[in-house]
């Protein structure tokens, strides 16, 4: 493993170490390795690499943290996104990026698209609700698919072309507009 290669610069070893953290199990195993072999140079390199990825850690504390904590904090974004496989339910009010109407929280389930115009925003990366995408583009619905338990809406980002699937919201105080769903299925959604 290249993080163990002491002929490499601390920077390169820190990057290799963070890249190797792909699960909670890795976090534990590699954290224990840092406890034993992680010298100050490697620990500070981890702080520097994390800072480049937008994660600010206090350097003096990072020198004394348990290896597992240091790795978890340094790899915060990647680890959360990689380890989670189930959607993170976020139900919050928002202003639609497309029609600019105020969309109330649903109350029971996550709402990730506008019930009026069916547009969404590209805020999630690997897992629904992770809010890890920096894109922020408007996502247009392009297809609906009726399943036994509900209706899936397929979206494509107008900025980066990423795709996602959300369930139509058919209950609650402000369900998805039935007219908009019908128009989408007919290919006439304005
Ligand atoms: Zn809207
Ligand atoms: Zn996008």
Predicted confidence (pLDDT) per residue in 71-129, tens digit: 988 887 555 554 555 666 677 888 999 999 999 988 877 788 999 999 999 988 877 77
Q: How far is the CA of 160 from the centre of ligand 1 (A)?
A: 20
My answer on whether 181 and 106 are in the same domain is yes
Q: Is residue 103 domain-resident?
A: yes
Decide if 134 is inside a domain.
Answer: yes
Mean predicted confidence (pLDDT) in 163-184: 93
Average the pLDDT over 135-152 and give the result.
92
- Are the C-beta atoms of 103 and 118 separated by less than 8 Å? no
Closest listed ligand to the CA of 133: 2
Proximal ligand: closest to the CA of 96:
1
Q: Label residues 89-114 b or e (16+ Cβ within 10 Å = b).
A: eeeeebebbbeeeebebbeeebbbbb
Residue 141 within a domain: yes
pLDDT of residue 87: 63
Query: What DSSP element (H or E) covers 186?
Result: helix 178-186
Q: Which among 131, 137, 184, 132 is positioned nearest to 157, based on CA atoms? A: 137
Ligand 2 centre and the CA of 165: distance in Å?
14
Mean pLDDT of 138-167: 93
* Residue 88 within any structural domain of the chain: no
> Same structural domain for residues 140 and 164?
yes
Q: From CA 58, how far away is CA 74, in angstroms rounded?
A: 11
Asked if residue 70 is part of any domain, the answer here is yes
For the chain, the domain total comes to 2
CA of 142 to the centre of ligand 2 (A): 15
Helices 24-37, 67-74: axis angle to 10 degrees equals 120
Q: Mean pLDDT check: name the lowest of 3-7, 73-77, 84-88, 171-175.
A: 84-88
Question: In this model, does residue 18 exceed pLDDT 70?
Answer: yes
Residues 13, 79: one domain?
yes
- pLDDT band at 46, cuts 50/70/90? very high
**What Cα–Cα distance (Å) separates residue 55 from each residue in 33, 47, 175?**
22, 8, 38
The parent domain of residue 48 ranges over 2-83
CA of 119 to the centre of ligand 2 (A): 13
End residue of a domain, out of 28, 63, 83: 83
Single out the residue in 58, 83, 108 at which a domain terminates: 83
CA of 154 to the centre of ligand 2 (A): 14
Going from the Cα of 43 to the center of ligand 1, the distance in angstroms, rounded, reads 46
**Nearest ligand to residue 134 Cα:** 2
Mean pLDDT of the chain: 87
Is 64 in the same domain as 123? no
User: Is 114 a member of any domain?
Assistant: yes
């Amino acid at each position: 493993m290249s993080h163990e290669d002491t002929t490499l610069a601390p920077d390169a070893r820190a990057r290799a170490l963070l890249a190797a953290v792909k699960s909670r199990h890795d976090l534990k195993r590699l954290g224990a390795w840092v406890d034993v072999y992680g010298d100050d140079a490697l620990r500070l390199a981890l702080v520097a690499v994390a800072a480049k990825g937008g994660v600010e850690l206090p350097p003096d504390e990072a020198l004394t943290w348990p290896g597992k904590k240091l790795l978890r904090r340094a790899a915060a974004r990647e680890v959360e996104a990689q380890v989670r496989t189930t959607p993170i339910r976020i139900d919050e009010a928002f202003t639609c990026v497309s029609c600019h109407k105020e969309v109330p929280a649903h109350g029971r389930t996550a709402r990730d698209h506008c019930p009026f115009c069916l547009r969404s925003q590209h805020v999630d990366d690997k897992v629904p609700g992770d809010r890890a995408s920096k894109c922020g583009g408007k996502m247009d619905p392009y297809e609906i698919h009726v399943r036994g338990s509900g209706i899936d809406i397929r979206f494509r980002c107008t900025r980066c072309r990423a795709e996602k699937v959300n369930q139509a919201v058919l209950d609650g105080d402000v369900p998805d507009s039935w007219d908009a769903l019908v128009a989408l299925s007919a290919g006439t959604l304005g």
